[in-house]
Amino acid sequence: MRKLAPLILLACLLTAGCWQTVSRPYRAVMSLQPFAAGAVTVNGSDGKLIHYALKKIARGRYRMTQPDRGSDFGQGFELGFFPLPGAPSHVLIYEAAALDHTVAGADLRYYGVLVVTGQKSAEEIRPDCEKDARAARASGTRQGKDGACTFADRERLEKSLLPLWKSGKKPEYHYAL
């Protein structure tokens, strides 16, 4: 899972297709902790493997950082996982925030669907505002100037992510802990 957060945010920033907000709809909600802390390996749609370290932190959140020496060493994300109303218990909403911008608490948070496939595995379904417009329209979620979808509140986010999960969209990333 540690590897999950940095990848999610980096990819979202590069593709400008993720769903985002600065409102922090889960600020007062305790995150679920479906995984143990430890090493994480991410296999993306390009077949490339990336390694991360996952650590449990306050409020049920995780910190996922890149432990391999190199230009991305130590970079990562704060992650939270929350139930997706109307979906089975193994289907979660993820919230990711870049570690280098969380001090003020007003930085962007990115959202998508995480499907827990086992005690040590998960798959990420990342929303794309343009490609997943039908799911976004379900709640009035709108595409912003930067191409990313923004939503007004937690209810609208959840109302958009449920049809995204039900759409059968294939996961882009696979995580092994």
Tens of pLDDT, residue by residue, the chain (177 residues) = 444 444 444 344 333 346 667 677 898 899 999 999 999 998 877 888 888 999 999 999 999 998 877 666 667 889 999 999 999 999 999 998 888 755 554 567 888 999 999 989 999 998 877 777 776 676 677 776 666 677 778 988 898 899 889 989 999 899 999
Threshold 0.85, pTM exceeds: no
Where are the chain's structural domains? 4-176
- Cα(88)–Cα(150) distance, integer angstroms: 25
Count other C-beta atoms under 10 Å from residue 83's C-beta. Answer: 14
Which tokens hold the place of 68?
């391999």
Amino acid at 105: G
Which helix (H) or strand (E) segment is 169 a member of? Answer: none
